[in-house]
Chain A
Amino acid sequence: DIQMTQSPSSLSASVGDRVTITCRASKSISDYLNWYQQKPGKAPDLLMYGTSSLHSGVPSRFSGSGSGTEFTLTISSLHPEDFATYFCQQSYGAPYTFGQGTKVESK
């Protein structure tokens, strides 16, 4: 199975901050990398697919980059509704594994 490792596991930030989350794959997954946002008590919501394509309705302050084994999710200017947990997920091959999550908390 492909292992996905996110860093950091949590971070504290303020509204307006630029936030970057890293995801590493245990083998090359090309650009088959998705990002999800999860709020407490809810299912994850798709943010981005194919490394850098925004899902419908996702604000442009979210962006993604990377290829191979290293990927980043960037929030250019944190909004109050962005405090949540973020997960990466590889869609290169089954089982489609997830990272362990990065919790973005209010400083």
Chain B
Amino acid sequence: QVQLQQSGPGLVKPSQTLSLTCAISGDMITNNNADWTWIRQSPSRGLEWLGRTYYRSKWYNDYAESVKSRISINPDTSKNEFSLHLSSVTPEDTAVYFCARFLVPGSTYNYYDFWGQGTLVTVSS
């Protein structure tokens, strides 16, 4: 059974960097059939895809246009985890942040099958 365990602070000051980590158990971050994703949820934006990191013989990243200039998602193969860094945060970045596995089986459908527990991050001074 795959489990994703999130960690990181729940309060970040405006203009600072939001950093969260997602530790993976039951799967390898180098799984060629998985994208490791960060999604956030807020009343104003709903469920918003932020970006992903994935391994297909080498590492790739994709980011949402809305945060592309401020975001970095980094895999750590030694710890089997991946992290989210979102810089220059404002109160609009206040949300529940989820990590999730997007299963990409190849010839069939893709979907989010395992999620972290969610972390409420509040941006406030």
Contact = CB atoms under 8 A, between A and B. Distances in A.
B115 interface: yes
B109 A95 contact: no
Given A43-B98, A43-B100, A43-B118, A34 B112 contact: yes
A38 B44 CA distance: 17
- The binding surface of chain B is classed by DSSP as strand
B124 interface: no
Contacts of A101: 46-47
Interface residues of B, number: 21
A49 B109 contact: yes
A41 B117 CA distance: 9
Contact of A44 (B49, B64, B115): B115
- The binding surface of chain A is classed by DSSP as loop
Contacts, number: 54
Q: How many of chain A's residues touch chain B, expressed as a range?
A: 20 to 34
A89 B46 contact: no
B125 to A, nearest CB: 26
A14 interface: no
Interface of A: 1, 32, 34, 36, 41-44, 46, 49-50, 53, 55, 87, 89, 91, 94-101
Interface of B: 46-49, 52, 62, 64-65, 98, 100, 102, 108-113, 115-118
26 contacts: A34-B109, A42-B118, A43-B115, A43-B116, A44-B47, A44-B115, A46-B112, A46-B113, A49-B110, A49-B111, A50-B109, A53-B109, A55-B111, A87-B47, A89-B47, A89-B112, A91-B110, A91-B111, A94-B49, A94-B62, A95-B64, A96-B102, A97-B49, A98-B47, A98-B49, A99-B46
